[in-house]
Amino acid sequence: MNYWETLAYLEWLGHEWLRAQFGLEKIRRLLAELGNPQTTYPSILIAGTNGKGSTAAMVEAILRRAGLRTGLYTSPHLVRVEERIRVLGREIVPEELAALATRVRAASEELLERGEIEARPTYFEFLTAIGFTYFREKAIEVAVVEVGLGGRLDATNVVPPFLSLVTSIDIDHEQYLGSTITSIAREKAMIIKPGSRAVLARQHPEVRAVLLARCRECGVSPIWADEAVEILGSEPDGRFVFAYRAASGERRSVHLGLRGRHQIENALVAIRAAEVLREMGYSISDEAIRQGLESVEWPGRLEVLGSSSPLLVLDGAHNTAGARAVRAYLEEFARRPLTLVFGTMRDKRIAEMAVELFPLAEVLVLTRVSDERAAPLAQLLEQTADLRCRLGRRTEAVEPVGRALDRAWERTPPDGMICVTGSLYLVGEAKRWLARSHGEGGVRD
């Protein structure tokens, strides 16, 4: 297959989540057919409801600054599927993606023909097999792997035990993981395995109890990245400077490259993970930690584009906890007036997300992402009607996303701000629209 045939094949496999089939037997058989590439390098596996992608990016940046040859596997992508698979910070190139997709497809068809699997790999399983095989071919030294959904039955959870990180756990994906925070925590806790090490973020008390129980079951002594830090200041765009106590006992400070107060907790997980790796024999200096955290980039997470006319902020907050983090950022750093462009998936807690975000905006523009899971405009309007009535906000419901962004620009003065949020899929569409309309990454002046 060439690159375009690969993209068509991935689309033919079906929607990443609506067609998902959770379980490990198929991915194990597929990886075995490919020579079990995931066993040829150590992997750091990262689960959580929010912050796992940012934490993965931070850990990878630290390890790369330490001179290690890194692989990074994340999901979903914003614009290009190649974003999910990176070595030394660089995306897999289209030709390499196509070549590996051809091999993985041939392996899966062979398994089907022999009756060793009952169905083709899902979209996510297919890309996971490509990513793990690519890392072997590129002779990486450490893989940083973000769990797709949950943990116990996620395709990434076939990697051998090494180091498991768990970021903040909250309510999300209830239809897959259970309706309570403890049931969700149990699913995510399963990335902690006997023989591994674990670094855990600050958690709700009931989540903490679940994670501790899993650690005891596996004979793992967890490292908690939940200590207080001293905030030394912040930039006008929301990047914080804070001081923490290193494992050596020395006081260290870092200027975070990612925006938002919530990123401090993610940074602590990355710091403690680097220190655990140092205990395991990796040469990771405090300077590498500082440089990695200061240089890290993670698009679509409080990403600020342009300097004026108006300022544009993109964040893929996809649940109530994510919306709460965006609200905290906007309360502290937003320019006024604020226009909110909001669209999300139909299975989300839309009314709860709206309560966090809508009161901050002078202008509301609701839109629909071009995705099967997306909430239609009628659903967005219905589930936020009471709140919008109480707020007295005039709301526009506009699709497609490009027209909604056009409308947001028309209604926002040059000294104001537009925040696009509610889904990473919405952020991806906004970035594609910006590239088409104003050049790659450009915004209006």
| DSSP codes, 170-188 | -S--HHHH-SSHHHHHHHH
Residue 444 has what pLDDT?
Answer: 38
pLDDT score of 443 more than 70:
no
Do the domains spanning 3-295 and 303-438 agree at the CATH topology level? no
Query: In terms of DSSP bridges, do strands 311-315 and 85-87 run parallel, antiparallel, or are they unpaired?
Result: unpaired
User: Is residue 245 classed as helix, strand or coil in its secondary structure?
Assistant: strand
pLDDT grade for 17, boundaries at 50, 70 and 90: low
pLDDT score of 280 more than 80:
yes
* DSSP designation for 345: B
How many other CB atoms sit within 10 Å of the CB of residue 230? 11
pLDDT score of 74 more than 50:
yes
CA distances from 277 to 56, 196, 222, 361 (A): 14, 12, 14, 44
Report the alpha-carbon distance of residue 194 to residue 215 in Å, rounded: 8
Query: Each residue of 22-61: pLDDT tens digit?
Result: 789 999 999 999 999 999 999 999 999 999 999 999 999 9
- Over range 265-274, report the average pLDDT: 98
Q: With 0.85 as the threshold, say if the pTM is over it.
A: yes
Give the end-to-end CA distance of the chain in Å, rounded to a whole number: 42
- Over range 212-217, report the average pLDDT: 98
pLDDT score of 178 more than 80:
no
pLDDT grade for 445, boundaries at 50, 70 and 90: very low
Class of 3-295 in CATH: alpha beta
Weakest-pLDDT range from 196-210, 245-259, 295-309: 295-309
Share of the chain above pLDDT 70, in %: 95
Residue spans of the domains in the chain: they are 3-295, 303-438
Judge contact between 130 and 85, C-beta under 8 A: yes
pLDDT score of 202 more than 90:
yes
- Over range 278-294, report the average pLDDT: 97
Tokens 């068509």 locate to 8
Judge contact between 165 and 55, C-beta under 8 A: yes
pLDDT grade for 5, boundaries at 50, 70 and 90: very high
- Over range 113-130, report the average pLDDT: 96
Residue 440 has what pLDDT?
Answer: 46
Judge contact between 428 and 80, C-beta under 8 A: no
Report the alpha-carbon distance of residue 183 to residue 53 in Å, rounded: 22
pLDDT score of 306 more than 80:
no
- Over range 266-280, report the average pLDDT: 98
Mean of the per-residue pLDDT values for the chain? 93
Residue 286 has what pLDDT?
Answer: 95
pLDDT score of 20 more than 70:
no
Residue 23 has what pLDDT?
Answer: 85
Residue 392 has what pLDDT?
Answer: 87
Distance from the Cα of residue 126 to its chain's centroid: 19
Domain 303-438 has CATH 3.30.470.20: no
Query: Each residue of 375-421: pLDDT tens digit?
Result: 999 999 999 999 998 988 789 999 999 999 999 999 999 999 999 99
Judge contact between 248 and 37, C-beta under 8 A: no
pLDDT score of 439 more than 70:
no
